[in-house]
Amino acid sequence: MPAGSYAVDALNTEELEPRERADFWTEHIGTYHSRMGFRYARAENFRGRTVRQRTDTYQLVKYRSDRIEYSRTPHQVRQDPDEDYRLLLPLGGEIVLRQDGEEARLTPGTGALVSFASPFQCLQSDAVDAFILTVPAREVNGRLGCRSPVSAGLDLTRGLGRIVGGMLTALHEEREHLTDPEFDAVSDRVVELVCMLAAGDDRPDVPGQLGEVEAMVRRYVRDHVADPGLTGTTVARALGWSLRQIQLALQQAGTTPRELIREERLRLVRDRLLCAECEHQSITDLAYSAGFSSASALSTAFRRRYGVSPREMRQSPR
C-alpha cells in the first residue's frame, strides 16, 4: 500500500475468546468515533468485524456485527465535542436512527447523515453490514439548510444515490491501491453528491432558502470552473439571483464566492494530476485550463491547500 497518512486496518472479534469480545469492540470502536454508549444484546459472545480506511480528512469503515445499540447522550456531546457527520449506508440488515425528534429506518438502498454534535440513538439488527463515512462538518454545514440530517433520507437505489453506493464500494475494494490524495478526492466527490441528494436538484421557489441556493451555486461553479472570467457576479447573473444572495448563502457555509471558485479550481487540477489520461498536459497547461492566471499562481495556491506542489503530487505513487 502507498505510504503517507492513508492507512488501512481491520479487526475481528472472533479472533478472541467469547467473553472478551464485547469489551474489545467497545474499546476499538471507541477509537474510531467520539464517546458513545454501547448496549449489547449478547455481550457474552458478540461478533463483529471492521475494515477501516482513513486519512487526516476522511475515514471510511465497512463493518458487520450482531445486534447492538449505540447512543450519544447530551453529557457525552458536551464532554467530547464532535461537529463532524457520519454518512451511514446499510448493505444488509436494518438500522433505526433517532435524533432531534426524527426517526429514520434504514435498510439496503437507503442512507442518512448523522450529526455527532447532537444526541442520538442507533439501533442495529442482527447481521448488519454497512458503510460509515466520517465527513468533516465544513463539507456539509449550510448545504442542507434547516433540514434535519436524519430526516433528509437518501435514496440509493437510482440516479446519484446509486452512484454514491457504487463509489463507496469501489473505494473499499481498491483500499490497498490508493494514496492519500486519491482517497480524499473520491471522498470529496461522494460528499458532494450526498449533499446534492439531500438538498434536491430543483431551484428553490423562495431564493431566501439559503441552503438550496448554496447547493445550486456549488454545482454551477463546478460546471464552469475552467472559465477564467468566473466570479461571484457572473454566477449570480447566470442563476438569476443577486450577488448578495450568493454571498449570504456561501457565508452560511463558511466560505465566499472567491474562495469557492479557487477551491473548485484546485480540485480540478488535483484530479487531472492524478489522471493518467492527462499526463501529457504540462503544469502551465493545467493552470490555464482551470482558470488560473499563471503556473506560478497555481503552484502557490496548490501548495497552500494540499501541502505539496502540483509537480510533486503528479510524481507521487499511484
All cell numbers assigned to 119:
444526541
Residue 209 pLDDT class (50, 70, 90 cuts) = low
Is the distance from CB of 213 to CB of 249 less than 8 angstroms? yes
Q: pLDDT by residue (tens digit) across 37-59?
A: 999 999 999 999 999 999 999 99
Residue 200 pLDDT class (50, 70, 90 cuts) = low
Q: Which residues pair with 63 in a beta bridge?
A: 50, 130
120-124 sheet: strands from edge to edge: 37-40, 68-72, 120-124, 95-99, 102-106
Is the distance from CB of 314 to CB of 307 less than 8 angstroms? no
Q: pLDDT by residue (tens digit) across 137-183?
A: 888 775 555 444 554 568 888 888 889 999 999 999 999 999 999 99
For domain 210-315, the question of CATH label 3.50.50.60 is answered with: no
**H/E segment holding residue 285:** helix 283-289
Q: In the prediction, which pLDDT does 179 show?
A: 92
Please give the CATH superfamily to which domain 7-199 belongs: Jelly Rolls (2.60.120.10)
Q: Considering only CA atoms, which of 63, 48, 128 is closest in space to residue 93?
A: 128
Q: Considering only CA atoms, which of 122, 68, 131 is closest in space to residue 96?
A: 122
Between 161-165, 175-179, 249-253, 269-273, the lowest mean confidence (pLDDT) is in 249-253
Is the distance from CB of 97 to CB of 172 less than 8 angstroms? no
Tell me: pLDDT of 121 over 90. yes
Counting residues of the chain whose pLDDT is more than 90, the rounded percentage is: 47
Report residue 276: phi and psi, to 5°.
-60, -30
Where in the chain are the domains? Answer: 7-199, 210-315
Tell me the C-alpha distance between 83 and 137, whole Å.
6
Mean of per-residue pLDDT scores for the chain: 86
Amino acid 97 reads L
Tell me: pLDDT of 63 over 50. yes
Q: In the prediction, which pLDDT does 144 show?
A: 56
